A and B are shown apart, each in its own frame.
Chain A
Amino acid sequence: QVHLQESGPGLVRPSQTLSLTCTVSGGSISSASYYWAWIRQPAGKGLEWIGRIFTGGSTTYNPSLRSRVTISGDTSKSQFSLNLTSVTAADTAVYYCARATLYSGSSDYWGQGILVTVSS
């Protein structure tokens, strides 16, 4: 059974960098059949796709966040990470990591989510 777990600070100051890590167990992040994504959800609102990383390290980002986002992976630790720079209160959300299938792009496994609040 694949399990994903987000970790990182729950509070980030405005203008600072939000950094989160997703640790994957029960499956390899090197599998060519999948890619790994970050998705966020402000309280009471809908889901926003942030970006993804493929096996081999190539990335794709949401154009609305591209200038501030970096997703990276560490296969030796079975982890992938999200960095979001210059955060504001609008970046306050529950952040999810997820595994997506190459076939359909659907996310079949999700982490439980981590609430990140941007506040001074």
Chain B
Amino acid sequence: DIQMTQSPSSLSASVGDRVTITCRASQTVRKFLNWYLQKPGKAPSLLIYAVSSLQTGVPSRFSGSGSGTDFTLTISSLQPEDFATYFCQQTSSVPDTFGQGTKLDFK
């Protein structure tokens, strides 16, 4: 299985901050890297697919970048509704695997 490692595991920030979360794959995942947001008690919600494509309806403050094994999710200016847990996912190789999550909370 491809192992996905996110860092940091948790992050404290304030409204308006610029935040970056990284995701590293144990082997190349080509362009098959997606990002999700999950709020407590809710299903994950797709933010970014194929490394850098913004899912319809997702605010433009979210962006993704990277290639091969190293990827980043950036939130340019945190909003109150962005405090949640973020997961990366690779769909390059079966089984699909997820990062362990990055919990973003208020500083």
Mark A residues whose CB is within 8 Å of B: 37, 46-49, 51, 60-64, 96, 98, 100-101, 103-108, 110-113
Contacts and interface: CB of A to CB of B under 8 A. Distances in A.
Interface of B: 1, 31-32, 34, 36, 42-46, 49-50, 53, 55, 87, 89, 91-92, 94-101
Contacts, number: 66
B95 A104 contact: no
A98 to B, nearest CB: 8
B43 A105 contact: no
B71 to A, nearest CB: 13
A47 B44 CA distance: 9
Given A46-B100, A63-B95, A105 B32 contact: yes
A8 to B, nearest CB: 16
Given A46-B87, A46-B100, A46-B101, A107 B44 contact: yes
B10 to A, nearest CB: 13
Given A104-B49, A106-B46, A108-B55, A47 B95 contact: no
